[in-house]
Amino acid sequence: MKIGIVCPYDWDVPGGVQFHIRDLAEHLIALGHQVSVLAPAEDESALPPYVVSAGRAVAVPYNGSVARLSFGILSAARVRRWLSDGQFDILHVHEPSSPSLSILAAWSASGPMVATFHTSNPRSRAMIAASPILQPGLEKISARIAVSEYARRTLVEHLGGDAVVIPNGVDVRFFADAEPDERWQGGAADGGPGTIGFIGRINEPRKGLPTLLAALPKILAARPGVRLLVAGKGDEEEAVADLAPEVRAQIEFLGMVTDQEKARLLRSVDLYVAPNTGGESFGIILVEAMSAGAPVLASDLDAFKQVLDGGDAGELFPVEDAGALAEAAVRLLADPKRLTELREAASRHVRRFDWSTVGAEILSVYETVTDGMPPVAEDVRGGWRERLGLARD
């Protein structure tokens, strides 16, 4: 099968959607399918062979964060060229509710088309306002996938229609087989102080690092020697500016890490903390942590509750409650038996998210959509031109 996948976000700035698309493409290629991914990207030399650059992206406020997207006349022309060159059996667009390559592709193409919706935002005024513009493209989509029940709810409430829920996928074995790194181990199971892990953009408020940093003094008071390992991009000095020197000394910033380093970090820490404050439709980092055998302590966002099997595969604390976070972390680090219970429960639960399961479900959607249908073609009605206020050539 020839599969075209559209990534709305800048490939040069890694995020959950980009990782999902990358892993999906590589899973499909490993099964023998031909896959091409169109994505915004400036550094073409660093792209995998299956990714085609649609040019530079620009920063746009979106879903409580800043997304880097491509949109406009030049982007539309590149979408058309990619569609013409690809001759795809099916087109898979991600986040077509954003001003991005995905909605341009939906406007520009006809034929078998699947869309995946990642966003969870029940109060998005922007999505409501944009609905009339988006609908002509969305109406051409043959099947819709939501990565969680909360992403599905956002879709239903803002854009209408429905979707099948298929979660984000993870290569469980990749994380489970990673070798721990002694530099990042804290020995909580053997009476040591322990290490706590955090992975995310440092200066993005909704990732919740300030809540974790606010909890750290109380954690250190109960367990002197605990280290916090922070992996991610951002202003490290600004993040710790309000902390006492003795607290700062227990924080190690690792910067951006490779996939291999991330897996080793998650295999090494005694506790992984996800203090996110909102705007999450899934929580792929939780699945990666569970796959690596890291006990998880996460804020009680609806999406996180679902990923953690209602709290059976990881513990939860109230959103932005630094005191509750500290109390839970201190209790868990002092209880090797409970940490083992969480690891075992997570190991069972995480199989649901392995690509062997998720990939098969996505392929089933593809096969349903393409059965008896002609391949993807350019929409001769020129919908993208009308939406951008242009006359047809």
User: What's the average model confidence in pLDDT over 26-45?
Assistant: 94
Average pLDDT over residues 73-87: 92
Domain boundaries, the chain: 2-169+354-387, 172-351
Q: Fold identical between 2-169+354-387 and 172-351? A: yes
Percent of the residues in the chain that have a pLDDT greater than 70, as a whole number: 90
> Contact at 8 Å (CB) between 163 and 152?
yes
On whether the 2-169+354-387 domain is CATH 3.40.50.2000, my answer is yes
What pLDDT sits at residue 63?
Answer: 52
Which range, 8-17, 129-138, 179-188, is most confident?
179-188
Residue 43 is predicted with a pLDDT of: 82
The predicted-structure confidence for 300-335, as pLDDT tens digits, reads as follows 998 899 999 999 999 999 999 999 999 999 999 999
Pick 137 or 174 by higher pLDDT.
174
Q: What is the tens place of the pLDDT at every residue in 333-362?
A: 999 999 999 999 999 999 999 999 999 999
Percent over 90 (pLDDT), the chain:
72
Q: Are 55 and 61 in contact (CB under 8 A)?
A: no
pLDDT reading at 161 higher than 90 = no
Architecture of domain 172-351 in CATH? 3-Layer(aba) Sandwich (3.40)
Over residues 262-278, mean pLDDT? 97
Could you tell me which residue, 156 or 200, shows the higher pLDDT? 200
Q: What is the pTM of this model?
A: 0.83
The per-residue pLDDT for 97 is: 84
> How much is the mean pLDDT over the chain?
90
pLDDT level of residue 75 (50, 70, 90 thresholds): confident
**Worst-scoring range by mean pLDDT, 21-25, 148-152, 242-246, 259-263?**
148-152
